[in-house]
Structure 1
Amino acid sequence: MTASPADRERVAVLLGRIPRGDFDVVVRTVSGDPAVLRNAPLLDDGTPMPTRHWLVHSGLRAAIGTLESHGGVRRAEAELDAEAIARAHAAHAAERDGDLPTGYEGPKPFGGVGGTRRGVKCLHAHYAHWLAGGADPVGAWVHEQLLDTDLMPADAPGRITS
């Protein structure tokens, strides 16, 4: 994973801190600003990084925070098929774990989307996974909620399909 120096600098501004590990920008806004990162499975110091896709788009983070503050996590769990959510967790974990160094024997990341093993922990992480092309029913649900509630920022990226 090799983010450009310009992307590393911009992501530091978006996060409000210097990123602690390697990443690629996998989704951008129409203007080219980073929106979703794909993180390496280990931070620079070897700490496991369970969250594969990280949403850095400030407008989307705020909009999804609004969904969460209005019971969005509970609503998503109630409205969506638990098995489909479990499949999204498994696919997320498999992709992330597939990037561990060959022969790596140290502590490994755990869980699926957002580091959880089942259910929904963080709508932001599910949406980032979905935007990056993951088959994530929670991310798709979040997208529909953003559109239905007019919370979608004007500069928000579309979903990557390839």
Structure 2
Amino acid sequence: MTTPPYETPTAAEIDVVSSQLGRAARGVVGIAARCVCGNPTVVATAPRLDDGTPFPTFYYLTHPAATAAMSTLEATQVMPELTALLDEDDDVAAAYQAAHRSYLADRARYGDVPEIDGISAGGMPTRVKCLHALAGHALAAGPGVNPIGDAALARSSWSPDRCVCAQPGAAQGTSTAG
């Protein structure tokens, strides 16, 4: 786990992220989490893209297997269950509020964008809207920071501890792991 400010990504890292996304990566200011093999898993994205578009999703999940796992979870209707947890458990709700504040503080290090002031991602701080964003935050911030992102990762078929980058359909890249 690393915390902002992130080092500027290399051209090779941007190429891997672009391959993972199937399009040119935009606004990447750093690699926020990596696969155990060293490939990017989550990028940190500028709060304002080069074309001037405000972009609230600071932590963007890029790893193909991770994004597929979050899509599968979303299709199983787990989001209403996780949203209900926020209503039922004051500790989880408080931790989710803290995750929202943490997310905003991380993004603020890369600029102030009035159009997205107070807006984080994934439905924070009161609901669960996008498991991709919440898992991305959980992977970047580390366990215990985003309880809903942690829960999504725990329920998914993908694990950040197991590399699947070389499997068919997964992006290939240069490992930076030693």
Give the alignment's TM-score, normalised by structure 2. Answer: 0.74
Alpha-carbon separation, structure 2, partners of 1:120 and 1:156: 27
Q: Shift of residue 115 of structure 1?
A: 6.6
Q: Shift of residue 107 of structure 1?
A: 4.1
Q: Shift of residue 23 of structure 1?
A: 2.2
Alpha-carbon separation, structure 1, partners of 2:31 and 2:106: 16
Residue in structure 1 matched with residue 128 of structure 2 by the alignment:
120
User: Over residues 11-43 of structure 1, what are the superposed CA-to-partner deviations in whole Å (9 max), with x where a residue is unaligned?
Assistant: 111111112213211211122211110112111
The one-letter amino acid of 1:129's match is H
The one-letter amino acid of 2:152's match is V
Instruction: Answer whether contact 1:82 1:119 (CA < 8 A) is retained.
Output: no
Gap runs ≥5 in structure 1: 158-162
Gap runs ≥5 in structure 2: 1-6, 87-91, 166-178
Q: Structure 1 residue 88 and structure 2 residue 96: aligned?
A: no
Q: Shift of residue 96 of structure 1?
A: 0.9
The one-letter amino acid of 2:96's match is I
Alpha-carbon separation, structure 2, partners of 1:115 and 1:90: 13
The one-letter amino acid of 1:16's match is G
Alpha-carbon separation, structure 2, partners of 1:156 and 1:72: 24
Query: Which of 15, 20, 26 is residue 20 of structure 1 equivalent to?
Result: 26
Q: Shift of residue 48 of structure 1?
A: 1.3
Secondary structure at 2:42's aligned position in 1?
A: strand
Query: Which of 36, 43, 47 is residue 30 of structure 1 equivalent to?
Result: 36
Instruction: Answer whether contact 1:29 1:35 (CA < 8 A) is retained.
Output: yes
Greater relative CO, 1 or 2 (CA 8 Å, sep 6+): 2
Q: Structure 1 residue 51 and structure 2 residue 57: aligned?
A: yes
Q: Shift of residue 119 of structure 1?
A: 1.1
Comparing 2-11 with 110-119, which one deviates more in the overlay?
A: 110-119
Alpha-carbon separation, structure 2, partners of 1:128 and 1:156: 17
Alpha-carbon separation, structure 1, partners of 2:48 and 2:164: 28
Matched length: 149
Secondary structure at 2:24's aligned position in 1?
A: coil
Moved over 4 A (4+): none
Query: Which of 130, 133, 140 is residue 138 of structure 2 equivalent to?
Result: 130
Residue in structure 2 matched with residue 75 of structure 1 by the alignment:
81
Secondary structure at 2:84's aligned position in 1?
A: helix
Residue in structure 2 matched with residue 143 of structure 1 by the alignment:
153
* Cα RMSD (Å): 2.2
Secondary structure at 2:41's aligned position in 1?
A: strand
Instruction: Answer whether contact 1:93 1:112 (CA < 8 A) is retained.
Output: yes
> Cα gap change, 1:55/1:127 in structure 2, threshold over 3 Å: closer, same or farther?
same
Residue in structure 1 matched with residue 8 of structure 2 by the alignment:
2
Instruction: Answer whether contact 2:28 2:43 (CA < 8 A) is retained.
Output: no
Give the alignment's TM-score, normalised by structure 1. Answer: 0.81
Alpha-carbon separation, structure 2, partners of 1:122 and 1:28: 20
